[in-house]
Structure 1
Amino acid sequence: MASLSIDVAEIIERQKAGAGQYTVVLLCALLMFLDGFDTQAISYIVPALSKQWHLPREILGSIFSAALVGLMVGYLAVAPLSARFGHKRMMMTSTVLFAVFTMLTVFATNVTELIGLRFMTGIGLGAAAPSAVALTCEFAPKRLRSTFVLLVYCGFSLGFVVAGLAAGVLMPAHGWKSLMLVGAAAPLALVAPLAWWLPESLAFLQRRPDGAARMRAVLVRLFPRVAIAPGSTFRLEDESEQRASVMTLVRGRTAAGTVLLWIVFFLNLAEFYFMQSWLPTMLTGLQYAPSTVVWVTALPTIAGVLSAVPLGLAMDRIGPYATLTTLYVVGAVFLWLVAGAFSGNVAWLMVTVFCAGFCISGGQKSVIALAAVYYPQRLRSTGVGWALGIGRLGGIAGPLVAGMLYTARWTPAEIFSFTAWPVLAAGCGVFAMGRVYGSRARTAERGAAH
């Protein structure tokens, strides 16, 4: 008797999102939470190390940059290996990697060792995110895909916030090493839940000798209400295509969209890290109270966390291109308003910074969701990884450009007025993508309906 061929996409689209899918979202969000915690923790540790080790100011930038360079290596070189080894394996391996090197940081005795360990930690951190996003998308129905990705990446922002809170509690009592120990122990504790409850990528399982049986086991666990007969075969989207390569991103149908995505990622992360890096210095220079500096600096990240659900729902229901274009235009307006708010009262400054952060930090998560929606399954991990890697260059360039302007005696108001233009340019890039690829997607959906 011929085996039954089952369309996996049809199962995912027709079923209500269940506990199995929400477990995938939760585990991926927890991994991103630890990713964000470790990324931000070093910002609180370096000042303490600087005093303890009597470090000159010029070396501090190298310590911060080490993990950023490692992140780029993880995004660009390691993340694409998930096509060969599977997203679940990549997530578990990267989690162990950044946990171990975070633990070894506790035993660093000089700057050279610290920079090397932060570089290796960054590779692990960078390899985790694209696989988490890709695996979330693989088991998410299209109507919820953007929402799920934003929820997962919301974990990253929460990690930023909790790192600050943990630093305030742990470091005064137990020193900087205590924060590193927490940052190492937590991901090691997450490895067992990942191994037990996280399903492996169906696209990866399909290439295994016993792939059909293993795919059936995953689908039965995630969708217990669906009857799947033993011996069934399974069809996945884009299964006839060749395995992803980096060059595939910049040729054919995805080429123009890839370039536009890279530009948007670059500009968005440049703005985000500019705000996170320079707001404390600018506010301190303007003689704001230390408590005000802390709260205003935290507002963009808090706004980014609160943006996840409304932006995800808007992207799923209204469309990703229209939502992001509007978000960036509004963000440019609020950055311009922040410039004027420096000379106003504190309440208005906090409102404008919060709204700008909602658009910039929320845009950072939303453009990752856009990349996950834009690329087909075979390109998703590679596409998201390279977009994040290119964006990381913006994360390095944004604070540097702002520092050059600050050194050239530009006022904070002038700098924020200037930074409204790159956000507007990012909105134009998303709008251009929507004009080309949004219409193609609608045409494809109408064709599928008929």
Structure 2
Amino acid sequence: METRKVNIHDVIDEHRIGRTQRVALALCALLMLFDGFNTQTISYIVPVLASEWHLPKSILGTIFSAAFVGLLIGNFGISPLSNRFGPKKMTVLSTAAFGVLTLLTVLVTNAPQLIAIRLLTGIALGAAAPCAIGLTSEFSPKRTRATFVLLIYVGYSLGFTVAGFCCGAMIPSFGWAGPLWVGGLGPIVLTLLLIPFLPESASYLARRRSPVDLLRAAQRFFPGFILPKDAVLTSNEDATSDTRVKGLFSRNLRLGTFLLWGVFVINLAEFYFLQSWLPTVLHSLSYPSAFVVWATAVSTIGGMVAGLLMGPLMDRIGPYMILSALYLFGGISMLAISVALGATHWILVFAVFCGGFCISGGQKGVVALGSIFYPAGLRAAGVAWAYGVGRLGGAGGTYLAGVLYAANWAPDAIFRVAAAPAVGAAIFVGIMGLRYSGGRALEPSAVVRNIR
């Protein structure tokens, strides 16, 4: 009698969402929260350090960009490591690592030390986020995949917001090291929760030829699940596991891969420019410190609102038209911020909210797009590599803004320059929408044929 294969991903798609999935979703959202917190805290600390250490303007861009270079290394390096050791182990190790490195940042005494420690912290952060996104994509059913990914990314934005309020409350009383204690101890405590409660990747278990462990994973998700006696549980990722990166450039996926990379580059450049430089720009225009914190937090709140609204729309309608329109309005919002600088506070806050809604919301959306666009066998590698290439935009965008700032460009002129790339992202997503119908990922068999 021929053994019947039961696909674990079909099991996940057919069952109702269970408690284990909800717990895993919450843990991944917390991981992303601390990721965002650690990324954004430096934006509030650097102006204080620049004053205390008498740093020149020219070095600020290097400090901001150091973590993004580390993020780039972490993104590109995580794919082979997670394939070998498993996404769960890499998630646990990278979360613990960026927690410890954040605590060590308290000990730095000069700019070169700060740059070095931020580079190492960025590597750990760059490894953690793709693992969390990949695991979330795996345990979420296809019908809610975009919503799940966007929900954990709301955690990332919430981390940015919490960082602003935490820095505003702690720096005056405890100095610049205060928020770093929160950003370091939090991930270490989270690591202790990830070890027992975060499930391992089903696809990794299948590739490791662990049918018993795979069955246990399925029963952990769905306690009532019973595998028929004549069946074996498997994963549809097996066929592409040896050619993951090559599969991104198969005939049917090649154009979409390059367009997706372009969108990631643009969006991360815009996102980190807005988050890293907005506090510095507002400080230079003599806005009160309390208002700077609120204005920067509002941009992140806009992204969270967008994330909550876009998930169901992307699952029901499709991502391309929504994302393209969002990026178009993002360019308009950056122009609005350039006009609102120097205007009354509420006008500037509204413009920043719109910019955050489009740019931060667009970043959540394009991550969800990557998890939808690629078939299961290429999803983790596709998102990780898009993230890695996109970090070039994050590092380049913040560094270019630093060059323009050091060259005494007016803040409104810098924001006008930032408007054009957002329109380019809208065009790239529109082209993807014309090429790929409905945002449906290709079947793994089609990818395998194209690889061969």
Superposed pair shares fold, TM > 0.5: yes
SS of residue matched to 1:234: strand
Q: What's the offset of the Cα at 1:90?
A: 0.9
Query: 1:435: which partner in 2?
Result: 434
Query: 1:191: which partner in 2?
Result: 191
SS of residue matched to 1:199: coil
- Alignment partners' CA distance in 2, 1:194 and 1:234: 25
Query: 2:119: which partner in 1?
Result: 119
Judged with a 3 Å threshold, the aligned counterparts in structure 2 of structure 1 residues 437 and 351 are, in CA distance, closer, same or farther, namely same
Q: What's the offset of the Cα at 1:73?
A: 0.4
SS of residue matched to 2:303: helix
Q: What's the offset of the Cα at 1:80?
A: 3.7
Q: After the TM superposition, which residues 296-307 of structure 1 pair with which residues of structure 2 at under 5 Å, given as runs?
A: 296-307=295-306
| 1:337 matches 2:313 | no
Judged with a 3 Å threshold, the aligned counterparts in structure 2 of structure 1 residues 441 and 163 are, in CA distance, closer, same or farther, namely closer
Query: 2:18: which partner in 1?
Result: 18
Q: What's the offset of the Cα at 1:131?
A: 0.9
Identity percentage over the alignment? 46
Which amino acid is 2:317 matched to? Answer: I
- Alignment partners' CA distance in 2, 1:278 and 1:48: 14
Q: What's the offset of the Cα at 1:9?
A: 2.5
Judged with a 3 Å threshold, the aligned counterparts in structure 2 of structure 1 residues 239 and 392 are, in CA distance, closer, same or farther, namely same
Q: What's the offset of the Cα at 1:30?
A: 0.8
Q: Which moved more, 1:218-227 or 1:161-170?
A: 161-170
Query: 2:63: which partner in 1?
Result: 63
- Alignment partners' CA distance in 2, 1:199 and 1:440: 28
1:79 and 1:128 in contact (8 A); partners too: no
Q: What's the offset of the Cα at 1:311?
A: 0.7
Query: 1:261: which partner in 2?
Result: 260
Alignment size in residue pairs: 444
| 1:221 matches 2:210 | no
Which amino acid is 2:188 matched to? Answer: L
TM-score by length of 2: 0.89
- Alignment partners' CA distance in 2, 1:286 and 1:112: 28
Judged with a 3 Å threshold, the aligned counterparts in structure 2 of structure 1 residues 412 and 374 are, in CA distance, closer, same or farther, namely same
Residues 133-189 of structure 1 show CA distances to partners (whole Å, capped at 9, x for unaligned) of 111011111111011001111111111121222223333333333332322221111
Q: What's the offset of the Cα at 1:110?
A: 4.5
Q: After the TM superposition, which residues 43-82 of structure 1 pair with which residues of structure 2 at under 5 Å, given as runs?
A: 43-50=43-50, 53=53, 55-82=55-82
1:321 and 1:433 in contact (8 A); partners too: yes
Q: 5+ unaligned residues in a row in structure 1: which ranges?
A: none
Judged with a 3 Å threshold, the aligned counterparts in structure 2 of structure 1 residues 411 and 40 are, in CA distance, closer, same or farther, namely closer
Residues 114-142 of structure 1 show CA distances to partners (whole Å, capped at 9, x for unaligned) of 33322221111100111111110111111
Cα RMSD (Å): 2.7
Q: 5+ unaligned residues in a row in structure 2: which ranges?
A: 447-452
Query: 1:150: which partner in 2?
Result: 150
- Alignment partners' CA distance in 1, 2:72 and 2:182: 24
2:103 and 2:181 in contact (8 A); partners too: yes
Which amino acid is 1:13 matched to? Answer: D
Q: What's the offset of the Cα at 1:344?
A: 5.0
SS of residue matched to 1:176: coil
Query: 2:346: which partner in 1?
Result: 347
Query: 1:175: which partner in 2?
Result: 175
- Alignment partners' CA distance in 1, 2:51 and 2:417: 35
Which amino acid is 1:183 matched to? Answer: G
1:303 and 1:355 in contact (8 A); partners too: yes
SS of residue matched to 2:168: helix
SS of residue matched to 2:239: coil
- Alignment partners' CA distance in 1, 2:221 and 2:21: 7
Judged with a 3 Å threshold, the aligned counterparts in structure 2 of structure 1 residues 171 and 258 are, in CA distance, closer, same or farther, namely same
TM-score by length of 1: 0.89
Q: What's the offset of the Cα at 1:72?
A: 0.8
SS of residue matched to 1:200: coil
